[in-house]
Structure 1
Amino acid sequence: MTDKLLEVKDLHISFKTYAGKVHAVRGVNFELKKGETLAIVGESGSGKSVTSNAIMRLVPQPPGIYDQGEIIFDGKNILELSEDEVAQIRGNDIAMIFQDPMTALNPTIKIGHQITEVFNIHRKDISKAEAKKRAIELLTLVGIPYPEERFEQYPHEFSGGMRQRVVIAIALAAEPKLLIADEPTTALDVTIQAQILELMKEIQQTTDTAIIFITHDLGVVANVADKVAVMYAGQIVEYGSANEIYYNPKHPYTWGLLGSMPDLDSNNEEVLYTIPGAPPNLIDPPKGDAFAPRNRFALAIDYEQEPPLFKVNDEHYVKSWLMHEDAPHIPVPEIIQNRIDRYTSQTKGDA
């Protein structure tokens, strides 16, 4: 018996376009245990949302193509199931929270009915009265005040943060084993963002639901994730525990993501660390390391040969030739190290 809930193995996904075949996901591997949170982080176009959609088999075919790989959820390969079997898993065992709560909710239907509809689809044994009772309990769980009254209201009567809480309540209605949150706080202000993240953390502790958190901002998931997968050009370039990624980052791309985060504790003279250039065109992926043209520490081999995934320790893997035993030692840039030191001192202060 294993506690692994999800295993993604050598996943390759492409899209046929008029311009050519886009290789959006290229050999992605990761796993998730029950009750664990994995953050998948990267710039727009890195493949993180395509990967998360693939887990629910939501990549449209055509133009999408599952070229190779496996997605093992609860012992079953999602890619080998019939459409009816996948439909039973979606919203039931795996639920998704989308970025914009206003488009996720039907503006013409009361939010109470939108929650109870989940029970009508996935829990047909529950009576109408029981469904309403559970919906009100869910509204209470996600922090909606006066849930009995709110049950009868429409989405436009809620603020953006409250609408996102409703979306989370809908996602939790069928008691899923896995919750996928695709940029769930991007449309919210910083204060509400923090509240939603804290809410998801509390819900996970209460329900033991596994969570995959998709984001472009490493700072957002600092206190939420157990593991972090950093994606670039359709590949995972650094993977490990949250502590390893935040306090011992090894890939220059991860340094760039950490350094580009605004830091309220820094002095006014400290500038943001920027990543030069732009991600590659995945119609024709570059030879060697895809990040090499933007990597100020690139080696000659980076332009010739794709790096393997080097093992730092049992909790940390890095796809970079800088990890090779013969590579020169490149210290973490000072601006990044300063931020790591601040993170560490803040963490110790909060403990």
Structure 2
Amino acid sequence: MACGGGASVRGVGELVGIDAITAAAECIAGFVLRTPTLPSPGLTAHLGVPVTVKLELLQRTGSFKPRGAVAKLLSLSDAERAAGVVAVSGGNHGVALADVAGSMGVAATVVMPESAPSRSIETARAAGAIVRLTPDMTGAFALTEQLVLDGLTLVHPFDDPVVIAGQGTVGAEFAADAPDVTDVLVSVGGGGLISGVAAALRALVPGVRVWGVETEGADAMAAARAAGGPVPVTLSSIVSTLSAPAVSQLTYDHVTALVSDVLVVSDADAVRGVLTLAERAKVWTEPAAGCLVPAAQRVLERVGPDARLGFVLCGGNATPSDVTAWAQRFDLL
């Protein structure tokens, strides 16, 4: 089975559209879960407005990432698959590619920084991928570029319209299940998820506002918005799954056109959000999802008390020891 290639997803100067996202949904349906979208009484009580959560942490491999990975692998030619695929990742994209490629019989190499969660490294290896570690994320991107030059086929975590269309299926499902939301919060790393989700929601839910959320030291999209285009950033956040050294022109264009604002919160507040989600929403997330909670307070200050919030809970790949260590570091226990 083959999904559409980039030419059918996005022309030059165009954004990924709802037709491409709908096509991606049909293509990946047999490979990924249609995750639940549910009201959260606990978060509603905590924030004082109705809150609906999209539980992508229940997705295959524990994050939304398999959607884009499946879409991309199914779009490749036989020769591209036979060459083997490579991805750079702070954790979740690499695990997703390793899992999906393994199930399709495609050889995969995953390049991660040494700061990536040990669980992600072990999981990618267990799925059959070759894992290459570098001192930092900038080095991981550089090594990946070299491996592509050596002949491997790139599955980029965000700078690819096919991947964005796959991630956009999250937004299409959210729109179908909770069409009354007024404001949806989405985590931003390189921007693939928010680009796809915003494209779907803005097409399907009239008047909806989409808000991006980053952490300090992993704020490449906020920096790009301030600079008027993608710029490199110095990475220092604990949140490796959001730590892209720069966004791409493709994702920047989507966010500029479709997203109300990108909010930046501290690592400590992101971890506090993980604890709040566990206590109030009864879900176990990673800080890349926890950062939505403090950002929601700021969104409400701007849009008022009549909002109906949506959270895309992007992943749950944090161990109890991870969360305990972070909470102790920030004196949250």
TM-score (norm 1): 0.28
User: In terms of Rg, which structure is larger?
Assistant: 1
More helix per residue: 1 or 2?
2
TM-score, normalising length: structure 2: 0.29
